[in-house]
Amino acid sequence: MSIEDDIAFLERVPTLALMGREALRVIAISVEHFALARGQVLFHEGEPADCAYVVQDGSLAVAPDDPHLAARPGQSARVGEGALIGEMALLTETRRPATATALEPAEVLRIPRNVFLRTLESYPDAARELTHRLSERVAATLADLERVRERLEAIEDVRRP
């Protein structure tokens, strides 16, 4: 693929699209392309994470290594074209919370954290927009957690004699 093809593809990834075409050009120049065979592991749970991946083609399973956890709803996912995997690793040092395995032949783009952060430094408007959207997502998550807390408290109130 050409750089222009990579930019056009990255523009279709919602989180990355917030950055704008010129910032994505810098990222597109630095991405690494990886081909995965069916069953090949992209990364393992617990590994240090210094990058994110975007699924360009195919699909991957992202699930905890513990089969009991993987069987629980919401603990595993099937991700396909355009999915951004490991986005928190773009912003901070973290570990992989799950293992990603190709369900079929797949192609992914690797975005290194250091490139992403340098790009944000060079494009402050992109950094502001990304910060704004991530803040909105955190606020929505906190609101969801508050609703869960309220439901749990209501259940406890019903159980009390």
Which tokens belong to 48?
């240090």
pLDDT tens, 43-57? 999 999 999 999 999
pLDDT at 74 (0 to 100): 54
∠ at Cα 121 (48, 6), nearest 5°? 70
CA distance 27 to 32: 10
Q: Is 0.85 topped by the overall pTM?
A: no
Closest CA to 19 of 80, 90, 86: 90
Instruction: Return the number of other C-beta atoms located less than 10 Å from residue 49's C-beta.
Output: 20
| Per-residue pLDDT at 148 | 87
Q: What is the pLDDT of residue 67?
A: 64
pLDDT > 70? residue 71: no
CB 34 within 8 A of CB 105: no
Q: How far apart are CA 53 and CA 89, in angstroms?
A: 10
The pLDDT, as a whole number, for residue 156 is 78
pLDDT at residue 102, rounded to an integer = 97
Find the helix packing angle between 113-122 and 21-30, rounded to 10°. 150
Residue keyed to tokens 């597109």: 28
The answer to whether 101 touches 61, Cβ cutoff 8 Å, is: yes
C-alpha of 88 from chain center:
7
- CA–CA gap between residue 102 and residue 114 (Å, rounded): 26
Instruction: Go through the domains of the chain in sequence order and give each one's CATH number.
Output: 3-159 (2.60.120.10)
Per residue in 88-135, pLDDT (tens digit) is 899 889 999 999 999 999 999 999 999 999 999 999 888 888 888 878
Note the pLDDT of residue 75. Answer: 57
What's the mean per-residue pLDDT of the chain? 89
